[in-house]
Amino acid sequence: MANVTQARALALVVPVALVGGAYAFQYWGGLFPCEMCWWQRYAHFAAIAFAVAALVLPAKKLWVALAGLAIAVSAAIGGYHAGVEYGWFKGLTECTTLVNFGAGGDPLAAIMNAPIIRCDVVQWKIFGISLAGFNFILSALGAVGVFALLLRGKKA
């Protein structure tokens, strides 16, 4: 049972940390998310919901496994997004933009001044790895960890 508890903790900590980091880069670092960035976040939001469900609902292993699966989905999207950023393959989406009409502002000016966030352009990287690449690596490791702990729990 201890392994399920550890898997549940990992299934909660990984997406909370990665979404928290994404929001920190967005609000403190000025890096706005593109459409594929949002897809990665949606998978993490689902993982958080599943991990929280594992705290309060029966069939805890099922909820933890679903959280691990959602983390793996975010990893897959992150890997695909990183491939699009590095030009390994063509993306599925068009560029996106954030338009804020604000309180009584000029809608045309808001549209014209909104930043265009392209899915195929790396906004930030370190050691040659973009944020999508880091999401791929960390989410994949997190998902493997969750499933390894769950499987180890079955043998005990």
The mean pLDDT value for 92-112 works out to 62
- Asked if residue 108 is part of any domain, the answer here is no
- Asked if residue 31 is part of any domain, the answer here is yes
pLDDT of 98 over the 90 cut = no
pLDDT tens digits, residue range 10-41? 999 999 999 999 999 989 988 888 888 889 99
Give percent of the chain above pLDDT 70. Answer: 80
- Asked if residue 114 is part of any domain, the answer here is no
- Asked if residue 71 is part of any domain, the answer here is yes
- Asked if residue 84 is part of any domain, the answer here is yes
pTM metric for this prediction: 0.81
pLDDT tens digits, residue range 37-54? 889 999 999 999 999 999
**DSSP string covering the chain:** -HHHHHHHHHHHHHHHHHHHHHHHHHHTT-----HHHHHHHHHHHHHHHHHHHHHHSS-HHHHHHHHHHHHHHHHHHHHHHHHHHTTSS--SS--EE----TTT--HHHHHHHSPEE-TTS-S-EETTEEHHHHHHHHHHHHHHHHHHHHHHHHH-
pLDDT of 94 over the 80 cut = no
Number of structural domains found in the chain: 1
- Asked if residue 151 is part of any domain, the answer here is yes
Domain that holds residue 53: 2-91+120-155
Strands 129-130 and 125-126: antiparallel
Average pLDDT, the chain: 85
